[in-house]
């Protein structure tokens, strides 16, 4: 048996637990919060509403993980056909918008098609930033009207300041016939990268994780304040300390580096250049369920305070009291590019006003509950500073034999299954060091 310590208790951390359990190792997890789950936590309101810490669904195609998560909830889960749409200047548009231009102003549609035709002769595959990619993929009119506007709201910085190594399947590149068909027909094939997903029937998304906690020692309300890598020791708020043989961290890299005693100045400086968004999540519960035909909606207009809406009651009826519905609004800020300029609770009133302005809320709706929560680390910003900064920080951690995993340890754009696998891989590296 070897003492392996994991900082955090979210999806990456339980991935590490799962891998270690297979080798008979029972790690200790330390989380600063009084509840487990990290960003996969679920909160139950006294009125009967359940809200996850931001929208979470499982759409992995990995059959091993599908089976594992299903077993964790006793095979009690919902299978949901994804419905996604967009809002732009009063228009509700099926997602992705580039394949669904029908009903938009004719002059806009004409210019989008004209520009898109011009992109067909391009053969460049090298792009110095995300803006260049957008122009090559969609043409100027569509790129500047839709993904540039949404991306600036979501990432808090413009596409000219971003790399393209986060894209993957996230932005669909249609063929010419798909664009034309979507411009003249109101019904089009579904091409979104999420066609269906799973969600636990009871107790919110965190129920996927709860069985893993039986295979570790879980210590809550333990905030790591100092890491002595040479002595392999952690010190916590309050003065307690613990020694470890191997350390795996899912803590955000800037926070992790700030806690490591003797981290070189150049590494501290590199960590300071890593950017991420802060998300204010405003949750609203109302007295009816027929709120939206879509499970989530992207908002392009910058004069709407929220960037994306989702509807937790559409994931499972157990997320709300009978006859009720729920809305989760995401508002994005960042310390580096767009600092949060108000108290979280001050976001509730403008969110409700904008929900009414776009018609999601009716004047006759009774609002049963509102709350605002803050996620200081929401999404990694893939700005031009990121690649060199991540390389410097990871190199230092590798030399210090401090493992890292998850979205904030890898400092990447990881979905649920990718975070879990990242935790498994970090655990394997710790096991390899033990055997060597």
68 pLDDT above the threshold of 70? yes
Q: Quick: pLDDT tens for 100-109.
A: 999 999 999 9
What pLDDT was estimated at residue 332? Answer: 98
> Does one domain contain both 83 and 196?
yes
Confidence of residue 124 (pLDDT cuts 50, 70, 90): low
Q: Quick: pLDDT tens for 184-198.
A: 999 999 998 899 999
What pLDDT was estimated at residue 435? Answer: 77
Q: Out of 325, 346, 376, pick the residue that ends a domain.
A: 376
> Does one domain contain both 136 and 14?
no
Q: Using CA atoms, how far apart are residues 394 and 410, in angstroms rounded to an integer? A: 8
CATH number at 392 reads 3.50.50.60
85 phi and psi, to 5 degrees? -140, 180
Confidence of residue 2 (pLDDT cuts 50, 70, 90): low
Residue range of the domain that includes 357: 43-87+192-204+277-376
What pLDDT was estimated at residue 1? Answer: 42
> Does one domain contain both 126 and 234?
no
Q: Structurally, how many domains does the chain consist of?
A: 3
Closest among 51, 81, 50, 78 to 294, alpha carbons compared:
81
Q: Out of 325, 350, 376, pick the residue that ends a domain.
A: 376
Q: Quick: pLDDT tens for 377-411.
A: 999 999 999 999 999 999 999 999 999 999 999 99
> Does one domain contain both 10 and 144?
no
> Does one domain contain both 82 and 104?
no
183 pLDDT above the threshold of 90? yes
What pLDDT was estimated at residue 193? Answer: 87
What pLDDT was estimated at residue 123? Answer: 64
> Does one domain contain both 269 and 281?
no
> Does one domain contain both 293 and 425?
no
> Does one domain contain both 165 and 138?
yes
Q: Quick: pLDDT tens for 248-288.
A: 999 999 999 999 999 999 999 999 999 999 999 999 999 99
């Amino acid at each position: 048996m070897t003492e392996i310590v994991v900082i955090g208790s979210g999806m990456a951390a339980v991935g590490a637990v799962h891998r270690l359990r297979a080798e008979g190792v029972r790690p200790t997890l330390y989380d600063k919060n009084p509840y487990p789950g990290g960003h996969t936590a679920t909160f139950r309101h006294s009125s009967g509403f359940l809200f996850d810490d931001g929208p979470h669904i499982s759409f992995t195609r990995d059959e091993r993980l599908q089976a594992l998560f299903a077993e964790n909830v006793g095979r009690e889960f919902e299978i949901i056909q994804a419905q996604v749409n967009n809002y732009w200047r009063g228009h509700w548009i099926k997602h992705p918008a580039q394949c669904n231009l029908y009903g938009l102003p004719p002059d806009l549609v004409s210019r989008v098609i004209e520009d898109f035709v011009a992109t067909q002769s391009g053969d460049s595959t090298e792009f110095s930033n995300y803006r260049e990619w957008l122009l090559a993929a969609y043409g100027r009119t569509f790129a500047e009207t839709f993904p540039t506007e949404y991306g600036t709201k979501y990432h808090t910085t413009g596409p000219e300041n971003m790399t393209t190594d986060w894209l993957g399947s996230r932005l669909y590149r249609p063929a010419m016939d798909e664009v034309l068909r979507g411009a003249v027909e109101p019904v089009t094939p579904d091409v979104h990268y999420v066609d269906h997903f799973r969600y636990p029937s009871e107790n919110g998304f965190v129920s996927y994780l709860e069985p893993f906690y039986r295979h570790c020692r879980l210590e809550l309300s333990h905030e790591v304040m100092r890491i002595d890598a040479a002595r392999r020791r952690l010190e916590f708020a309050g003065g307690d300390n613990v020694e470890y043989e191997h350390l795996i961290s899912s803590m955000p890299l800037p926070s992790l580096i700030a806690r490591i005693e003797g981290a070189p100045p150049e590494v501290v400086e590199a960590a300071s250049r890593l950017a991420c968004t802060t998300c204010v999540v405003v949750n609203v519960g109302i007295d009816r369920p027929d709120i939206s035909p879509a499970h989530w909606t992207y908002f392009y207009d910058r004069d709407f305070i929220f960037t994306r809406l989702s509807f937790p009651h559409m994931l499972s009826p157990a997320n709300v009291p009978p006859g009720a519905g729920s809305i989760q609004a995401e508002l994005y800020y960042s310390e580096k590019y767009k600092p949060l300029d108000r108290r979280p609770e001050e976001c509730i009133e403008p969110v409700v006003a904008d929900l009414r302005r776009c018609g999601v809320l009716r004047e006759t709706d009774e609002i049963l509950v509102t709350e605002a929560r803050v996620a200081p680390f929401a999404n990694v910003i893939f700005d031009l500073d990121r690649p060199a900064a991540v390389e410097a920080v990871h190199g230092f951690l590798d030399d210090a034999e401090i493992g890292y995993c998850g979205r904030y340890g890898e400092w990447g754009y990881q979905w649920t299954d990718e975070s879990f696998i990242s935790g498994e891989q970090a655990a394997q590296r710790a096991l390899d060091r033990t055997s060597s």
